[in-house]
A and B are shown apart, each in its own frame.
Chain A
Amino acid sequence: MALLNYTQQKKVGRVVFHIVVVFLCFLMTYPLLYMLFSSFKTAQDIFQHPNSLFPQEWCFDNYPNGWRGFGGVTFTTFFGNSLFVTILAVLGQVASSSLVAYGFARCNFKGRSIWLAIMIVSMMMPAQVLIIPQYIMFNSFGWINTFLPLIVPGYFGYPFFIFLIYQFMQGIPRDLDEAAFIDGCSKYGIYIRIILPLVKPALVTSLIFATYWKWDDFFGPMIYLSDVKKYTISIALKMFTDPTSVSDWGASYAMAMLSVLPVIILFFCFQKYLVEGISTTGMKG
């Protein structure tokens, strides 16, 4: 190393960094690559050569065959349903959660700590035991076989996001609020003008999470939707495989591949809000 000057050392360091990172990237993405290449394998190939990444011969039938769906309902429908549910639910979750988080972070009302505790505790209930009571409840609302149970509860705040945004709001100095308050800004105005723009990274994070979770949610749609035309992608994906009978793994991989694309694209597009241009606002001075 002594033979190299400083810039050369830096260059070598960077090359090594990239080599290591690319190798790690390969490890991280191997399952996705496997899924991608398996979606071009024939049924025999998938099971006879499970250890080889590449198909023995390329087979493109899995995509049209998978897209065909089940009994006349195609993946166009499933994608449409998933998009509809995800977009509506995510908007509601993020917007309402930011409101609630502001209430907890910046208002000193009576019962604040109790409600905060209730909010945290409601994150701890395993969804599995709530299935039946929730179904009974939504059935009494007449909401079964509609998208409402999947969308509406999100408009009343989602504890995970409330907590996340709340934590970020706590990181914002109060001097800013106070300055705004002296300028005649009400609590409501402070929320909209001061706090909301500053927690953008938390909102984006929530948005990415919320999208992925809604998109990936299997149990909710499975329980509440009965009409096949209303099924979301997550249910449809499971329907290719049946442990008690013949499964179509090729089509399953193909459709799984397509179904992760929107989430990846979303992440790729939104990540810039998380990193680029390090914050210059919100400091004390």
Chain B
Amino acid sequence: MKKVLSATMAVAMLLSMAACSSSSSSSAAGSSAASSSAAGSTSDSTAASSEAADPTAVGDVKAEMRMIWWGSQTRHDYTQAAIKVFEEKYPNITITPEYLAWDGYWEKCAAMGASKNLPDLMQQDYKYITAYARNNQIIDLNPYVESGILDLSDVSETAYTPGIIDDKLVAINLGMNTYCVLIDQDIFAKAGIEIPEDTWTIADYEAICQQLVDKKDELGIKYADSVGGFEIETLQYAFREKDMYFFNQDGSESFGWDKETGKEIILAHMLREKEWQDKGYIAPVAVRQENSVNGIESNPIVKGECAMFSYIWSNQAKAVSTAAGKNFTMVAYPSETEKKMQYMKPSQFLSVTADSKYPDQAALFVSEFTNNIDMNKELKAERGVPIAGKVREALAADMEEGSIDKQVFDYVGRMSEIANVIWKPEPQALGTIDNLRKNMLVSILNGSDPDQAFEDFYTLALDEFAAQA
């Protein structure tokens, strides 16, 4: 197991370094973070810490901090236990937790941000970090990496680069996450279909769907793939296939394509979904609409009404398995060629806010949250696969063979080798644009005129960009 993981890491590192060097935007600050971590040599990190603050000295300061996160019962329990471990190690520091459900979390943070009352530590989402970073609500952690308070030596570059906005390291990844397709191996076995490799293509996917649809009644399924709702990622993959990005990568509020090319890619993608729907490969639009509101545990795969569930995040596999009472097989999302378009996405981040009176101690906490094995044993990788190598190894060693946790770990490990590079965080217009895109897709799946649907989408999208810019 260790071998696989370390190999995984090495490959991931190589890939990401190659990707990084080709992108011109990596700055002095960004690369200094890289040098103290990616290089990972002991001499480097001791040099850094000797010239600046010593972590133990930082931990001796009396500090009262607050930390806010969203989640469910499990996460609240685990995180509190981890905080206790931290407080035992640093008795001078206390951390008051403020946890919430996802519903309302961002509204509350907006209100707290507006009156400069954010907790010291804040759980962040990829959708929001740009806004918080650009408004200087969360601080640059690079100085703490340089001074050695925040130790990223055991973290691969792919794992922390998503937290870099405008050359500032504003957030630390709390767990790796990637898209997957859940496969009901029992139905596949019954149909005599082999479980596909991670490298499978769209053509393979279509062939498998056809086979499943042919034996629909015999297998007791209604369609081959339930899909989720109307996730935006698959469209983003379609752009990546053409070596383009859906949103502009320069951080502006705009698309990464001109109208004509974009229209072609979008309509091709959506009309193919319509074709799949009409052939019974994927669930009808009404079912997907219901899926999108119902939550993953109500997906038809739980009731055995389909053989596959694509469009799902790896850290959600556990919820589906629990609901179904059995494990599913996880494979990568199919792509046009064998090259994967899916990427490793941080499930969530931890940031230190500008309102914090104890940024040193907060950074220390982030460091411990990332590297402390005892803390992570309490956290139980519930937020996704940990980014620090030693932590991953320690957790993997404790896992039961065949458990869903183990499966997720293995899958994420496999994917980190072949995944695409993540794109820049989405613009602020994402919320509305995503709804507009959903409307366009629903119209097309319902048989409306695709050109008209696209025109409506495009006009309103430009209006939204203009309002955000």
Contact = CB atoms under 8 A, between A and B. Distances in A.
B316 A71 contact: no
B319 A245 contact: yes
Interface of B: 66, 68, 70-77, 79-81, 96-104, 107-108, 110-112, 114-115, 117, 119, 295-298, 302-303, 313, 315-316, 318-319, 322-325, 347, 382
Contacts of A227: 96, 98
Contacts of A144: 117
Interface string A67-84: 000111000000000000
Interface centre among A44, A227, A245, A249 (most CB of B within 10 A): A245
Contacts of A235: 100-101
Interface of A: 43-44, 46-48, 50, 70-72, 131-132, 135-136, 139-140, 144, 218-219, 222-223, 226-228, 235, 238-249, 251
A278 to B, nearest CB: 45
Contacts of B104: 218-219, 222-223, 238
Given A50-B298, A139-B115, A222-B108, A245 B323 contact: no
Nearest to A139: B115
Closest 3 CB pairs of A and B: A71-B80, A135-B111, A242-B72
A240 B102 CA distance: 10
Contacts of A139: 115, 117
Given A47-B323, A222-B104, A248 B74 contact: yes
Contacts of A44: 322-325
Contact of B295 (A226, A228, A238, A243): A243
Contacts of A239: 71-73, 76, 99-101
A243 B102 contact: yes
Nearest to B77: A71
B100 A222 contact: yes
Contact of B75 (A223, A226, A245): A245
B73 A228 contact: no
A46 B303 CA distance: 11
A39 to B, nearest CB: 15
Given A48-B324, A48-B325, A144-B117, A246 B108 contact: no
22 contacts: A44-B323, A44-B325, A50-B298, A70-B73, A131-B111, A135-B114, A144-B117, A219-B107, A227-B98, A239-B101, A240-B73, A241-B72, A241-B295, A242-B101, A243-B295, A244-B347, A245-B74, A246-B72, A246-B74, A246-B318, A246-B319, A247-B72
Contact of A247 (B76, B81, B297): B297
Contacts of B107: 131, 219, 222-223
B327 to A, nearest CB: 13
Contacts of B73: 70, 239-240, 248, 251
B297 A47 contact: yes
B72 A43 contact: no
A238 B318 contact: no
Contact of A71 (B97, B101, B303): B97
B102 A242 contact: yes
A70 B71 CA distance: 11
A241 B319 CA distance: 11
A90 B375 CA distance: 44
Interface centre among B72, B114, B323 (most CB of A within 10 A): B72
Contacts of B313: 244
A246 B303 CA distance: 18
A58 B71 CA distance: 28
A246 B296 CA distance: 9
Contacts of A238: 100-101, 103-104
Contacts of A251: 73
A136 B72 contact: no
B322 to A, nearest CB: 6
Nearest to A47: B323
B72 A248 contact: yes
A228 B97 contact: yes
Nearest to A136: B115
A137 B111 CA distance: 11
A135 B112 contact: yes
A1 B75 CA distance: 66
A175 B296 CA distance: 64
Given A223-B111, A227-B98, A238-B100, 14 more contacts: A43-B323, A46-B297, A48-B324, A50-B298, A70-B73, A223-B107, A226-B66, A226-B68, A244-B315, A245-B316, A246-B74, A246-B318, A246-B382, A248-B73
B98 A228 contact: yes
Contacts of B318: 246
Contacts of A132: 110-111, 114
A241 B72 CA distance: 5
Contact of B72 (A47, A219, A223, A245): A245
A135 B76 contact: no
Nearest to B115: A139
A115 B323 CA distance: 55
B76 A70 contact: yes
B114 A136 contact: yes
A70 B117 CA distance: 24
A110 to B, nearest CB: 38
A244 to B, nearest CB: 6
A242 B98 contact: no
